[in-house]
Amino acid sequence: MSTPKIIAGRALASVGFLLLGLGSSCGGQAGAAQAGDKVFVYPIRSSGPGSMDPVRGSTTYDNQACSLVYETLLQYKYLKRPLELEPLLCESMPEVSEDGTVYTFKLKQGILFQDDPCFPDGKGREVTADDVIYSWKRIADKGIGTKNWWLLESTIAGLDEWRETQNTSSDGFDYDAPCEGLKALDRYTIQVTLTEPVTRFLYVLAMFQLSIIPREASELYGTAFSRHPVGTGPFTMNEEDWQTSKSLDFHRNPSFRDEYYPTEWMPEDEASGRHLAAGKKLPIVDHVRINCFVQDQPMWLMFRTGKLDYAQIPAENYVDAIRKRTKTLKKKYREEGITYYPVPLLDFIFRGFNMEDPLVGGSSEENKKLRQAISLAVDLKEFNDTFYNGQNVVYDGPIPPKLAGHPEGHFSDKAYRGPDLERARRLLAEAGYPNGEGLPAISYYTSLAANSAEQTEMMARQLGKIGIELQSNLLEFPQLIEAINKKKATMFSFAWGSDYPDGENNLALFYGPNGSPGSNHYNYKNSEYDLLYEQIRAMPPSPERDEIYETMRDILLEDVPYVGSMARTRNYLSSPWLMNFKPTEDFWNWPKYLDIDESLRN
């Protein structure tokens, strides 16, 4: 999504206001929490989610919030590495036909939606197979503003045709109309027939956009459902618990079923004591508070004064906390009981082009040479050293390190990697703009957050060396996504975090039919590339598939629909009272496993 990991923005509130809003004592930070509750408080480095409706969500911040309230058929095992799927709402992993096209899922019985006025007498009812089918069909409904059709497109038998029929019907969208590939065999059994074997299918079922929701809530609340979530998860959230751009409060779900802390772990988990909670009923904490921060320093101050249970180290505070030579936590932090967790991300930081824009887009040689010149003028090493303490991996292609299709040594000789100003100037002249003459200012959109303004200034300076002018547009996160989805941005920037550990997820970002508002924000179209993508969707991991990944990577490197790439290491620090913490950004339902030692916090 994953969803895009976009640093988003809002106006900077005063530190004093934030401290007052959190509360005066460490044990009672969240105003909606009850006395004696265990309260877990953590930050989102943005203005928060855009929606609490899973099918309308598309970002990491939507994922973080939705994953507390909603659940999917499958999830990732919390402590296992590398990542491994397991049942969540299902009794077991699905039965799969020999040809890999028919999946049969059996739901656990007795799972209840949370209590809500949308149900008779306000009491949540049992989840059934019909709820699964309804929830997935919502992704096909253009009328509700879904951004996630790309997840199921060309995947389930008959669903593409069903979507077209329902969205063009004069009688309106009929969720009860049958779809060939989605069947409820009985109250608890779902049979899904795929168009062909699709390797990523089970990964997709663990993504928050495929969460199960009740039809009653969607129909009763309409567009307000985006702020009134009703799920099966360990926590609930009321509309008044979401203070836009400030905070979200989540409460223990009193009707949550019996689910327990995992009994599988890695050897390093024993050293950290994460295994000691094995068998505990989930969730362990009573209340979760998410505080929203666009600017990093208020977040850092709140962590350093004990008001947050963990924080990510801002770039400007890295050298205060970490020894750059050894990459270890400094003594003063260790003496406070703080623990350091460096987390390498499946990360794709880029500067993208709108390939439908007449200035930079399209397949003409002139416009392609302009994109190549821009790429050659950008110095990612300077960005890495200045803003990321040299921790990022700078690499060629869209596939992050450690995945098939990533170039050996992070480098491909097909890439237009800068800085190479002499070659950039030559290509710029061949594009028809010698020394930038006659080239209009390029409109560049990015988020209003952290050091985005400084990063934009650096890119403007780098491009200025070959005569290109950059016109910056710094927006709050929802407005940034809206501008990109509506194809207003000539260039734009954010970071995409892989939704699952397969390079196919990143290659899907450039598949033509996934154009905006889908995941192909670049609106890139290349018939050769699209045919190769359709081929790899059905291929299991193999050397043959890896070769196609590399071919697709090289097509993108030549066409330059983006400038990139970098992958971050996220540096987490946790307070001494936070227990069972194993940070990851590959999934976000892990707050249910955490515990707070209130005696240490107080």
Residue in 304, 367, 310, 365 with CA at minimum distance from that of residue 336: 304
Instruction: List the beta bridge partners of residue 595.
Output: 579
Task: Judge contact between 398 and 564, C-beta under 8 A.
Answer: yes
Largest Cα–Cα distance in the chain? 73
Q: How is domain 347-567 classified at the CATH fold level? A: Dipeptide-binding Protein; domain 3 (3.10.105)
Whole-angstrom distance, CA of residue 378 vs CA of residue 465: 10
* Cα 333 to Cα 457: distance, rounded to the nearest angstrom: 33
Contact 156, 193 (CB under 8 A): yes
From-to residues of CATH 3.40.190.10 in the chain: 3-252
Three-state secondary structure readout of 87-100: ECCECCCCEECCCC
pLDDT band at 17 (very low <50, low <70, confident <90, very high): very low
Average per-residue pLDDT in the chain? 92
Q: What is the pLDDT of residue 32?
A: 63
Q: Which pLDDT value is given to residue 34?
A: 78
Q: What is the CATH number of domain 3-252?
A: 3.40.190.10
Phi-psi sector, 112: left (phi>0), alpha (psi -120 to 50), beta: beta
For 240-288, what is each residue's pLDDT tens digit? Answer: 999 999 999 999 999 999 999 999 999 999 999 999 999 999 999 999 9
**Token pair 């000789």 in the structure block, residue:** 413
Residue 311 phi, psi (nearest 5): -155, 155
Q: What is the pLDDT of residues 186-240, one digit of tens each?
A: 999 999 999 999 989 999 999 999 999 999 999 999 999 999 999 999 999 999 9
**Long-range contacts formed by 184-189: CB under 8 A, 24+ apart:** 184/128, 184/129, 184/130, 184/132, 184/133, 185/104, 185/129, 186/129, 187/128, 187/129, 188/106, 188/107, 188/108, 188/109, 188/128, 188/129, 189/104, 189/105, 189/106, 189/107, 189/129
Q: What is the Cα–Cα distance from 527 to 304, expressed in whole angstroms?
A: 52
Say what the pLDDT of residue 3 is. Answer: 42
Please check whether residue 158 is in contact with residue 181, taking contact to mean a CB–CB distance below 8 angstroms.
yes
Among 572, 566, 389, which residue's Cα sits nearest to residue 5?
A: 566
DSSP state letters, 306-355? T--SEEEPPGGGHHHHEETTTTEE-HHHHHTT-EEEEEE--EEEEEEE-T
**In the chain, ranges of CATH 3.10.105.10 domains:** 347-567
